[in-house]
Every structure is written in structure tokens, then in C-alpha cells.
Amino acid sequence: MSLQTQELLLNVGPQHPSTHGVARFRVWLDGEVVTNLEVVVGYLHRGIEKLAETRTYTQVIPLTDRLDYLCSITNNLAYCLAVEKLAGVKVPERAEYIRVIMSELQRVASHLMSVGFLLNELGAYFTPIIYCFRDREKIVDLFEMVSGQRMMYTYLRVGGVSQDLPEEFIPAVKRLIVDLRKAVDEYEALLSGNEILLARMKGVGVLSPELAVNASASGPVLRASGIKWDIRRAEPYSIYDRFKFDIPTAKNGDCYDRYWVRIEEMKQSLNIVEQALRDLPGGEIRSEVPALIRPPKGDVYRHIEAPRGDLGFYIVSDGSIAPYRIHIKPPTLINLTTMKDLCVGWKIADFIVIFGSIDVVLGEMDR
Amino acid sequence: MTTALKTEQVVSQIAAAFTGADIKVDGPAVIVAPDMVNKVCAFLKSAPGLEFDYLHNLTSVDFMDYFEVVYHLTSLKHNHSMVLKTRCFDRNNAEVASVTGVWRGADFQEREVYDLMGIKFTGHPNLKRILLWDGFLGHPLRRDYL
């Protein structure tokens, strides 16, 4: 008697398949091996692009917080840069430095979450994530000190930032940098050489550089595949051309490399914060901008290196107080384009790790 | 620093490769006909000196008189960028040739434009709604959708 086998269609999600949010996958399995995969998104779609059309330019800023809610500052930044370019608004020096300090701290906070959750997916339940939360908490405390909020900061404004740094902020950041450097070393000691972690991530879910470029992958996913491309260096926005930092790239494009790139990026971000604190000038924090901004007719596209990749804002103005059209280019949705290629041939448990290593935030994917 | 290529430079190269094609310029953007977008993109990707290997962004705008589909292209090799646009004047039957064959990264982005703006991409391997569900009526990002 011969054994009869058949392909199994497994629905993963949309209820937190890997603690990331409401992503859903349809996975075809042969035994434990993935043979096909379909990404199903849209469960968190709130129509932010449509909502933005009925608001003034300033009122859109809180909406951008709710895209990638783990890195609100960089969302604010991308949007404000786009409006500033469209309306020809200049930003004071001090505000530029504050923006860089906040963005880079945000990158560290975001990567901490990413690393912690990735370890959760590997089965290292809650020990690494609690360490990461512990350190992210310190960053969030500082953000609260500056903006009064712990998650949806709405801190940036067109033409600057909403309020100046409080007096106790700078000594606190200096202490924090020391702490975080120690913490990142601690993660490396605890995780990077860990045998289970290596066995589960080395060589798993390899994204070739050709496919990464062809599929418009960006951020750590692109750099883990060996492409040295970082908007902060390729097309420096704000004042990033003034700082010295490396762009960590890996060679293999597997899950481990994506993890490693994030760890290294945290170190680089801390270097940037240190340099920005050293050079932080005094002066104005916001330029004079009318309450109702009326940019001239036209369109603009600005993109920045957000923690999860290349976040872009395409804004069309018809000369009125509300944007005619805003398109948000979501890096994480586009990073998932190659999800099927990465997962086919791997086991169902590896699929969860691969998904974790791409690091998505559903608020941004679905908008 | 990423340099935006001068439109004349790109237009002359496209015109040389596609004789008789209707190519316009609008500010920093090059505008081509919707049915030849995929061919122009394949050319832009492979032409020496241009080599736009990376599709940054693909989106659409509803100007009521016409839809505009916008492509932001970058060359990682030469670190230059350009904007390509195409216009569809038929609201009920807007069609643009899909560029998924040129860049895989267009896959989800074209589906999103189809879903929210109702522009069909001919040649897309899996053109269905992405953010909204299959039974949804209408395309919300159109300006006349209320």
C-alpha cells in the first residue's frame, strides 16, 4: 500500500501570527515544508491617505505618527521634509540637530523592538524582549520628557520642532548613550554567538542582492544582502552630511545578517547622536510658518532612511490649505514582496523567523 | 548625493529608442503613453548610462480630467534619479501597462493603485485588491468617491 499525501493550505493570522500585528499569510505546506505563500494585508487599513486630503498640512502630522507606530519621529520627519520642500520653508540649525538626535534615538528604540521580537519568534520567549523593552523604556522616557508623549509624539512641525529640549535632556542623553552602548554589547554577548540563534538563522531565508534591488527592498533588508545603500549617505537629507558614520552591510542576506545589521546600526546611531550633541547650536527651534500653509501648485517626493527602510512621501498640492493627494511609500509592505521567494523550501517554523527578520509594522503596511 | 537627471537627456535617449513615440516633459517629469510604460521602463533599466535598476515609488493621482501614474526611479549604480509619469484620460477604463516584468517591486504597489484608484495594469500576474476586500465597491482614493 502506498502512502497518500496531499498539500495542506494553512491560514496564519490575522491574529498576531508572530506578535507583530494583524498580518495574514496563506501558506501551502507539503508536510512541514512551505511550497507556496501568499501575503494578505489590509486588516489595519484606515485610509490615512484619504483622511489626509481633508486636513490642513499641519493636521496631517498626527496621522503620520500612526503609520509606523514604533518610529513616529521618523514618520514626522519624512512628512515635514516633504512639505518644507514643497512650501520652501527653511529649518533653523538647532531644530535640524534636534531632529537628528530624536531620529537616531528613535532608530535605536525601533531596532531594539525588532531584535527583541525576532528572538521571541525564535522561541526565546520573553527574556530577550524584556531586556530590549528595558532599554527602549529609557529612550521612551526621554521622548516623554521632550514631547509629553510615549508613542505618538507629533513632535516635529513644518519648519522645526514643537518645543525646545528641556534643560535636563542633554545630560540624560549622555548617560543614556553610555547605558545603551553597554546594553548593545550585552545583547551581542548574549545573542550573537548563541548556538541556537545561529542554527536557526544562518543561511535561512536568503535574499540575493539582485532580487533585493529588483524587488525594491530597502533598509536593513537591502543592506543585509550586501547593497551599501542608505539614503542618509546616498541623498543626505536634513544635516546628515555633517556626521561621520558607517553603513553596516552584510554578505549573505540571510536572517542572521538582517539581525546583525540592526545591531550594528544601533551602534552607528549612537555615534551620530553623540556627534549631534557635541555640535548642538543654540537659537531658534522653529521658523516662522503661517498657521495655514499654502504651498504652490506642484508635487514633491521626499524619502528618508527610516528604521525599517526607505520611507517616502509624495505630496501633490493644488495651492489650497489641504494637500490634494498624499501617498506614503511604505518600506515594510514592499519588503514583503519577496516573502514567498524567501520562504519556499523552508519549514513552517523558519517562515515565522523569516517574517520576523524582515521586521514589519502593520500600521505602516496597511496605512 | 542623488542627482536628478535632466529631462532633455532622458527624453532624447527615449526618443532615439522609440521613434515616433509621444513623449512630453512636465517640470522634472517625463510623460509617456500608458501602453508603452513597460517598454520605456525596460529600456530605462537596461540603457547604458541610465540603468535605473531600482523602482522607488509607484503611485497615482486623480486630477479628475485624467489619472496620473507616477514612477520614481533611481539608479543605485550611478546614484541618479528621475520621475516618469503617464496619463489615462478614460475614467471608466483606465489601463496602464504593468512594469512588474521589469521590477518585481512594482507588484504590491500596482495592486494598491488598482485597489484604491481603479487603474488596471495590463500584464500584472495577480491583479486583485490588496488593502480592501474583494467585495468592496468603488475605489476610495478617487476624488469623486464620497
DSSP-assigned states of every residue in A133-165: HHHHHHHHHHHHHHHS-SS----EETTEESSPP
Q: Do A214 and B116 touch (CB under 8 A)?
A: no
State residue B71's pLDDT score.
92
Rounded (10°) angle between helices A127-147 and A93-121 = 160
Is the model's pLDDT at A291 over the cut of 90? no
Nearest CA in chain A to B128: A40
Q: What is the pLDDT of residue A77?
A: 92
CA A125 distance to own-chain centroid: 23
pLDDT of residue A19: 61
Residue B97 backbone phi and psi in degrees, to 5: -70, 135
pLDDT of res. B18? 78
Question: Quick check: A354 contacting B, CB < 8 Å?
Answer: no
CA nearest to A344, candidates A75, A129, A35 = A35
Q: What pLDDT shows up at residue A17?
A: 52
Chain B (95-134) residues lying within 8 Å, Cβ to Cβ, of chain A: 103-109, 116, 129-133
B72 chain-A contacts, CB cut-off 8 A: 301, 312, 314
Answer yes or no: is pLDDT of A234 > 60. Answer: yes
> What percent of chain A clears pLDDT 70, i.e. is strictly above it?
98
- Over 70: is that where the pLDDT of A205 sits? yes
Q: pTM of the prediction? A: 0.89
Task: Give A305's strand partners.
Answer: A310
Please name the member of B76, B129, B133 whose beta carbon is closest to the beta carbon of A229.
Answer: B76
Number of residue pairs across A and B with CB atoms under 8 Å? Answer: 85
A337 touches chain B (CB under 8 A): yes
Mean pLDDT of chain A: 88
Coil/strand/helix, residue A30: strand
Q: Which of the four pLDDT bands, split at 50, 70 and 90, describes residue A20?
A: low
Match 538626535 to its residue by C-alpha cell. Answer: A101
Nearest neighbour of A235 by CB, restricted to B2, B70, B109:
B2
The pLDDT score that the predictor gives to residue A268 is 92
Verify whether the Cβ–Cβ distance B53 to A213 is below 8 Å.
yes
Euclidean distance between the first and the last CA atom of chain B, given in angstroms as a whole number: 42
For residue A179, the SS3 value is helix
Task: Provide Rg for chain A, Cα atoms.
Answer: 21
Cis amide leading into A14 (omega within 30): yes
| Chain B residues whose beta carbon lies within 8 Å of the beta carbon of residue A303 | 56-57
CA atoms of B98 and A153, how far apart (whole Å):
39
Whether residue B105 and residue A216 make contact (CB cut-off 8 A), yes or no, is yes
Inform me whether the C-beta atom of residue B66 falls under 8 Å from chain A C-beta atoms.
no
